[in-house]
Amino acid sequence: MSSREEITAGLAEILEEVAGVNPDDVAEEKNFTEDLDVDSLSMVEVVVAAEEKFGVKIPDDEVQNLKTVGDAVSFIVKSS
């Protein structure tokens, strides 16, 4: 299983690819919408890419709870 740091780094790669987010800006406390400027459609792409990368399933009704990078990391840790 990946460490939280490795998952954060993996999410940073996805965020750069999908939404052009600078990987240096990605940290657990960052809010996807407010801090990283990821809009709702790009968030859908992030979720699908994260499912593929980390081999997890992120249900649609769970996505609204993933406000920060740390929320997503915790969900991926719990699910994998």
Partner 1 sequence: MTRPEVVVTGLGATTPLGGDVASTWDAMLAGRSGVTPLTQEWAAQLPVRIAAQLMVDPGDVLDRVKLRRLDRSEATALIAAHQAWADAGLAESGLDLERLAVSVGSGIGGAQTLLAQDDILEASGPRRVSPHTVPMLMPNGPAAWVGLELGAKAGVHCVASACATGAEAISLGLDIIRSGRADVVVAGGTEAVIHPLPIAGFASMRAMSTRNEEPERASRPWDKGRDGFVLGEGAAVVILERADHAAARGARIYARLAGAGITSDGYDIVQPHPQGAGFVRAVQKALDDAGVSGADIVHVNAHATSTPVGDMAEVSGLRLVLGDHPVLTATKSMTGHLLGAAGALESIATILAIHEGVVPPTINLDDPEDGLLDVVTNKPRHMEIPAALNNSFGFGGHNVALIFTRHS
Which parts of this chain interact with partner 1 (CB under 8 A)? Answer: 18-20, 41-42, 44-45, 48
- Which is closer to partner 1, CB of 7 or CB of 47? 47
From CA 23, how far away is CA 56, in angstroms rounded?
22
Alpha carbon separation from 60 to 4, 27, 46 (Å, rounded) = 22, 23, 12
- Which is closer to partner 1, CB of 3 or CB of 33? 33
- Which is closer to partner 1, CB of 34 or CB of 39? 39
Report, in Å, the least distance between residue 37 CB and partner 1: 11
From CA 24, how far away is CA 36, in angstroms rounded?
11
